[in-house]
Structure 1
Amino acid sequence: MTDLHYDVRGTGPVLLVLPGGAGHPMGLDAMTDVLCDRFTVVTCDPLGLAHGRLGEPVGDQRVEDWSDGADRVLDEVLPEGEGAYVLGTSSGAIAGLDLLVRHPERLRHVVAHEPPCVGVLPDGAQQQAAFREVYDVYRAAGPRAAGARLGAVLTGAETVAESSESQPLSREQELGSPMALFLAHVLRPFTAYVPDLTALTGSSARLTLAAGVDSRAQLLHRTAQFLSRHTGSSFVEFPGGHVGVAEHPADFAGLLAETLVPVGDSPAPWTT
């Protein structure tokens, strides 16, 4: 069983934060700074990349392992008889959905921001194939070229400008780069994951799908809206785009807090 890596800040009900990418919590501090006055913010780092494990061997990741790790973190931080709020972004949002499917009794409310579980869409197989192509580009030409292709997939751009500087990374270089680890070991298995819509429908009162205002008409905005409609869950637009949590941290945090616990309300007594 792997070690758990997470940070705890603030006071109040537990808010579990599941970062995107390869799970490195970089860029989240400005948002959590705002939230610490209202929540005990528990930020997961599933691969320990910010806790001394960057550079150590990493294999292909499983959504279930990330959500099981999050559940084990809750075992350590959640007071007896209480439930947690959850924010998951991107790949972390997929882990949050899986956590809600398999451990709904632990959770008050999950906000899943732009989860790339595109297999639920009518053209899901095509979109999953596009993400596999991003991986192939990464292996052939490195992270710069793969990042450009990934951007095209997310925005719907038809052409991608190839960089003459693109080249594959050595294994040592890959292990030292969170972005490279995401492209190598997270992108394919996470975008292949298809959540259980029936289970999510049963937990719809505890789920909000979210997407960035700047992501309108893009793939992951469409995915979040589809999940919302087909599970009966709420849908909220947040500031910025796919990385709005880093682009507009204060506004993002304010809307997140209002979504989880509206102003003037207090967390209701926890019941399962």
Structure 2
Amino acid sequence: MNHPTTAATLRVPDAELYYEVRGQGPLLVLVGAPMDARSFAPLADLFAADHTVLTTDPRGINRSPVDDPDRDSTPEMRADDLARLITQVDAGPAVVFGSSGGAVTVLALAQAHPELVHTVIAHEPPLDELVDDREELRVKTDDMIATYLAGDTVGAWKKFMAIANMPIPEEMIEQMFGGEHEPQDVADERYQFEHMLGPSVWWRPDFAVLGSVASRIVVGIGEDSGDQLCERTSIALAEGLGLKPTMFPGGHIGFAEDPAAFAPRLRAVLDE
């Protein structure tokens, strides 16, 4: 069922953050990058019966405009944003679930503000610097970003899927990313390629700091992710933390593709 949702904005350094709160109970934060609050709404509704659920558009995306659109969005900046949102909602310490670039954000949050989170679930963070072929990935990522900025959107997405080892047919990529799109979607896509993607995939967690915090850290991997890059980076993260990865239903965005299947597993992880 859908639960009443309160939408608001919070002024933070260099940005105006859009966020939504639904439900009552312990605080659960669901965050992505570049995915915004809309992608997490179905999962949020499933938890709102017994949780206060916070979702947000990350800085520079959709309803969270930034003062300087030419400035990069780093994991540290997004972690500071989350810290301010958790403090604003005043229902913490929180369980924080982050997926993809959002998983990088929540790791940065655990490093900088462990007092605000008691459990951090990093679901498939694209931490390219943790794998052996990091230098090759950096060259390919630079080329992909340059391809996008040169105006070849479809070509950039084809390179993105190749780097991520996501076997999507080229004609499907052309259908998804070619042609006309809403201006806001185009702006978000450009911000992702130009200012969010690089700082996220090139970020390195501080294993010593993460290993010393009181927060519980969970590294999540989709059961259907196969040999995708984010499975490899997640395994490397778990090994660095001395943890065993936790499996979740679906693939890289299983929480959005089938939230009804994802929610029971997330609840079980929270109850462990």
Match of 1:34 in 2: 46
Q: Alignment partner for residue 187 of structure 1, among 189, 197, 218?
A: 197
The yes-or-no answer on 1:10 pairing with 2:5 is no
TM-score (norm 2): 0.83
Contact 1:25 1:50 (C-alpha < 8 Å) held by counterparts: no
The yes-or-no answer on 1:101 pairing with 2:97 is no
Contact 2:106 2:122 (C-alpha < 8 Å) held by counterparts: yes
**What is the distance in 2 between the residues matched to 1:34 and 1:259?**
15
CA pair 222-242 structure 1, distance change in 2 beyond 3 A: same
**What is the distance in 1 between the residues matched to 2:45 and 2:166?**
34
Match of 1:209 in 2: 219
Q: Alignment partner for residue 155 of structure 1, among 140, 165, 189?
A: 165
Structure 2: gaps of 5 or more residues? 1-12
CA pair 110-234 structure 1, distance change in 2 beyond 3 A: farther
SS across alignment from 1:96: helix
Q: 1:105-254 counterparts in 2 under 5 A?
A: 105-155=115-165, 173=183, 176-203=186-213, 206-254=216-264
TM-score (norm 1): 0.83
Match of 1:20 in 2: 33
Query: What letter corresponds to residue 242 of structure 2 in structure 1?
Result: G
Match of 1:265 in 2: none
Contact 1:15 1:84 (C-alpha < 8 Å) held by counterparts: yes
Report deviation, 1:242. Answer: 1.2
CA pair 204-251 structure 1, distance change in 2 beyond 3 A: farther
Report deviation, 1:102. Answer: 1.2
Match of 1:68 in 2: 80
**What is the distance in 2 between the residues matched to 1:63 and 1:52?**
16
Report deviation, 1:51. Answer: 3.0
SS across alignment from 1:17: strand
Contact 1:141 1:168 (C-alpha < 8 Å) held by counterparts: no
**What is the distance in 2 between the residues matched to 1:244 and 1:186?**
22
Match of 2:9 in 1: none
Structure 1: gaps of 5 or more residues? 263-272
CA pair 91-57 structure 1, distance change in 2 beyond 3 A: same
Query: What letter corresponds to residue 60 of structure 1 in structure 2?
Result: D
Contact 1:58 1:175 (C-alpha < 8 Å) held by counterparts: no
CA pair 74-205 structure 1, distance change in 2 beyond 3 A: closer
**What is the distance in 2 between the residues matched to 1:201 and 1:74?**
22
Quick one: higher RCO (CA 8 Å, sep 6+), 1 or 2?
1
| CA distances 1:172-206 after superposition (whole Å, capped 9, x unpaired) | 95774423321122111111111111112224861
CA pair 253-50 structure 1, distance change in 2 beyond 3 A: farther
Kindly report the root-mean-square deviation, in angstroms, between the aligned alpha carbons of the 2 structures: 3.0
**What is the distance in 2 between the residues matched to 1:48 and 1:186?**
9
Match of 2:59 in 1: 47
Contact 1:6 1:45 (C-alpha < 8 Å) held by counterparts: yes
| CA distances 1:116-168 after superposition (whole Å, capped 9, x unpaired) | 111012222222332222211211243322111111111176x97896xx999
Query: What letter corresponds to residue 151 of structure 1 in structure 2?
Result: M
SS across alignment from 2:250: coil
CA pair 57-48 structure 1, distance change in 2 beyond 3 A: closer
